[in-house]
Amino acid sequence: MGLTGLEIYKQLPKKNCGECGTPTCLAFAMALAAGKGSLDACPHVTDAAREALDSASAPPIKAIKFGSGSILGDETVLFRHDKTFYHPTTILIQVSDTMSDDEIAAKVAEINDLEYDRVGLHYSLDGVAVVNESGDAARFAAVVAAVAKATEKSMVILSNSAEALKAAVPQVAERKPLIGSATADNYEAIVNLAKEQAVPVILKADGLDALNDLVEKAQALGYKEFVLDPGSRTPSQSLANFTHLRRLAIKKKFRPFGYPVIAFTSKSEPLDEILEASVYVTKYASAIVIKTSIKAHLLPLLTLRQNIYTDPQKPIQVEPTLHVVGDVNEDSPFYITTNFSLTYYSVEGEVEASKIPSYILPIDTDGTSVLTAYAAGKYEPDKIAAAMEASGIADKVKHRNVIIPGYVAVISGKLQELTGWKVIVGPRESSGIVSFARTL
Amino acid sequence: MIIIGERINGMFKDIGEALRNKDPKPFQHWALKQQEGGAHYLDVNSGPAVPTEERPEAYKWMVNVIQEVSDLPLCLDSTNYDAIEEGLKLCKRPAMINSCPAERAKIERVFPMAVQYNASLIGLTMDKKGIPKDAENRVAFAMELVAAADEFGLPMEELYIDPLILPVNVAQEHAPEVLESLRQIKTLANPAPRTVLGLSNVSQKSPDRHLINRTYLAMAMAVGLDAAIVDANDDALVDAAATAQILLNKSIYADSYLKVFRTR
């Protein structure tokens, strides 16, 4: 992202001395913005200005990596329809060191087991947040070690005590946990620990002003692997804070807030908690720590995350394999369509409404609709014939009838020739399927 | 796209006479007619119809009679800043000041006034020496206006920079330079300043004025034009503005987009 002339101008000394070879600072700023000169040509520019200009050309929100493949931050928009959200929210489940060893082992086993396969996609939980509620540094360190042994997933290590973190973190530093939280009172010890162990650290302060102060102080320690926590614990306040943080980082290039954000749920009732976490998934939290670990509670949250972080510019596709609607048998009708999800689900919905168990084969058209695919040469009879062959439909039904979309009636002759199947031209619109199916 | 209706101007005979006779009817007629055509602002210019020393009073009168019939915000068009200030005091909705060149003395007078009255401001990319020929110098003046907005605390979205289009029949080489200027002005600050053109100037004394105007409008919108002072009752031009807006993905498409553009 280039700097604007005004942003550069504000950092220049405004002496208009002409020593850079340009008559005024304003003209020099414009030349720099246009890429026509170097800042080094100005002998009066301060180090602070140079730093400000360098960092202003960095991405608005720093990417923070931790654990097993968790990437936080590195986002560029406020609304996904403007481009896309890149790095799905990392979701972690909280484990307290006040729980017994057995309870902890059971909880971590439960977390490891949170894997889902749904509509051709695989979801899993990202990690465990170990919280020091016992107040005992040795107990905390033992629990952190036990959790690290029991799971390969990403870890967040949370304590208010620098001592407890010093006991717990070094033994698992190679797992690159995210640690926290550094506050105004203890940030020096905790940020320095994070720096020594090369792990990212959460900076927590009450409110945005205090957070701004804390970030600047922590940066002065020569470390920049931060995740921000504005301290709010109610959904409405967190929503406001996360929006400000994201907006300031992107729209105003406000560097102290150019870091990802972590959210903690406050609700104890699991259904409320999932609703709360849903707000944070949609509104800019890069990581969320939640309490519930029940499989049914988490599926909707993980599904929402998947949906929100889908690239809106890419058409959503369904798997181009043979799909089944209802309790099919060897007489079931066989429809073909495309793998564009809008197209496929329109067809599937109508086939379902016809109440006749059926097979549907979405042809892989790179997620384009029937007419788009046809116009682009992605819906040719030879390709459809090959997909029919590969799908194994011939072994599943005893008839040899294939129903094609009415808009591509023109391919019926060639398809019939290639496959030897009787090609039936269906209705143009999928809304005609219900009445069409009755005539079969 | 912001359409600023140009018709209330003392250079037009009916307005000039009405101003001298203190006859509100032509003012009110054109206010309503331009509003109907699709204007978002009404330009108000006394022209030379009244002597300089009487202009503050004239602007007060014009603002009042127009606001009797129309709620549209006004674009106060004069080089007499006292007249503009008198007008600003009476404007019910935040107005636009037309205009201020990139001259320090005028900047110091006009920018604080815009901030004080919560008004938008049209800045011209010229100084005492006149209008530059190339884009580079136009943009240099634009940068001075941008820096002034920052200095005086005028929000960048309230600054409308006018890179000054000239008639194509006598100053043809300016037209592409103005397009290039519009493109570059949008990169000067973040958020970017807005841009405006006194569009009808491009076709002065040419045949097929309407065709020239709307063609240039579409071209200018493609490179970042936000507003134009135009004939709001040139339906083909307003249609072109509405269409360009759709093609730039600035308004959500609907089959009735021409109508929607006029009823906003």
Lowest-pLDDT range, A200-209, A252-261, B102-111, B192-201?
Answer: A252-261
Q: Which two tokens stand for residue A53?
A: 């200009």
What ipTM, to 2 d.p.?
A: 0.76
* Mean pLDDT rounded to a whole number for chain B: 96
Distance of CA B179 to the CA centre of its chain: 17
Asked if A10 lies within 8 A of B150 by C-beta distance, the reply is yes
Task: Quickly state the pLDDT bin for B1 (edges 50, 70, 90).
Answer: very high
User: Terminus-to-terminus CA distance in chain A, angstroms?
Assistant: 59
A26 at B interface, C-beta within 8 A: yes
A390 at B interface, C-beta within 8 A: no
* Mean pLDDT rounded to a whole number for chain A: 93
A182 at B interface, C-beta within 8 A: no
Task: Please give the Cα distance from A227 to A236 (Å, whole number).
Answer: 20
Contact list in A for residue B191 (CB cut-off 8 A) is 251
* B143 → closest Cβ in A2, A5, A253: A5
Residue of A nearest to B144 (CA): A26
* Residue B149, pLDDT above cutoff 80: yes
What pLDDT, on a 0 to 100 scale, did the predictor assign at position A2? 67
* Residue B49, pLDDT above cutoff 90: no
Tell me the HSE value of A340 on the side-chain side, using a 13 A CA sphere: 18
Between β-strands A178-182 and A201-204, what pairing exists: parallel, antiparallel or unpaired?
parallel
Residue with the bigger pLDDT between B215 and A342: it is B215
Contact list in B for residue A251 (CB cut-off 8 A) is 191
Tell me the HSE value of A33 on the side-chain side, using a 13 A CA sphere: 26
What pLDDT, on a 0 to 100 scale, did the predictor assign at position A41? 87
Q: A125-170 pLDDT, tens per residue?
A: 999 999 999 999 999 999 999 999 999 999 999 999 999 999 999 9
Let me know if A414 is exposed, middle or buried by CB neighbors in 10 A (0-12, 13-18, 19+): middle
Phi-psi region of A250 (alpha: psi -120 to 50; beta: other; left: phi over 0): alpha
Rounded to the nearest angstrom, the minimum Cα separation between B146 and chain A is: 7
Q: Best residue in B127, B136, B184, B190 to probe A by mutation, most A CBs within 10 Å?
A: B190
A9 at B interface, C-beta within 8 A: yes
Residue of B nearest to A6 (CA): B189
Asked if A33 lies within 8 A of B190 by C-beta distance, the reply is no
Q: B110-143 pLDDT, tens per residue?
A: 999 999 999 999 999 999 999 999 999 999 999 9
Q: Which two tokens stand for residue A229?
A: 């926590």
Reported as type and span, the H/E element at residue B76 is strand B74-77
Size of interface A-B (CB pairs under 8 A): 38
A78 at B interface, C-beta within 8 A: no
Q: Which two tokens stand for residue B60?
A: 């007060």
What pLDDT, on a 0 to 100 scale, did the predictor assign at position B126? 96
Contact list in A for residue B192 (CB cut-off 8 A) is 4
Asked if A6 lies within 8 A of B140 by C-beta distance, the reply is no
What pLDDT, on a 0 to 100 scale, did the predictor assign at position A30? 86
Residue range A75-91: mean pLDDT, rounded = 95
Rounded to the nearest angstrom, the minimum Cα separation between A308 and chain B is: 22
Q: A365-393 pLDDT, tens per residue?
A: 999 999 999 999 999 999 999 999 999 99
Task: Please give the Cα distance from A291 to A396 (Å, whole number).
Answer: 46
Task: Quickly state the pLDDT bin for A38 (edges 50, 70, 90).
Answer: confident
* Model confidence, pTM: 0.78
**Chain length of chain B:** 264
Contact list in B for residue A5 (CB cut-off 8 A) is 143, 146, 187-189
* Residue A190, pLDDT above cutoff 80: yes
Contact list in B for residue A10 (CB cut-off 8 A) is 150
Asked if B150 lies within 8 A of A2 by C-beta distance, the reply is no
Residue of A nearest to B146 (CA): A6
CB A277 within 8 A of CB A288: yes
Task: Quickly state the pLDDT bin for A45 (edges 50, 70, 90).
Answer: confident
β-sheet with A422-425: strand ranges across: A323-325, A358-363, A334-338, A401-404, A422-425
Q: Best residue in A1, A3, A6, A11 to probe B by mutation, most B CBs within 10 Å?
A: A6
A56 at B interface, C-beta within 8 A: no
* Residue A87, pLDDT above cutoff 60: yes
Contact list in A for residue B150 (CB cut-off 8 A) is 6, 10
**CA distances for A267 relative to A84, A239, A284, A301, A381, angstroms:** 29, 15, 19, 15, 56
Asked if A26 lies within 8 A of B144 by C-beta distance, the reply is yes
Most confident of A81-85, A250-254, B233-237: B233-237
Residue of B nearest to A23 (CA): B140
Asked if B187 lies within 8 A of A7 by C-beta distance, the reply is no
Asked if A7 lies within 8 A of B189 by C-beta distance, the reply is yes
Other Cβ atoms closer than 10 A to B1? 22
Q: What percent of chain B has pLDDT over 90?
A: 95
* Residue A1, pLDDT above cutoff 50: no
* A6 → closest Cβ in B139, B140, B150: B150
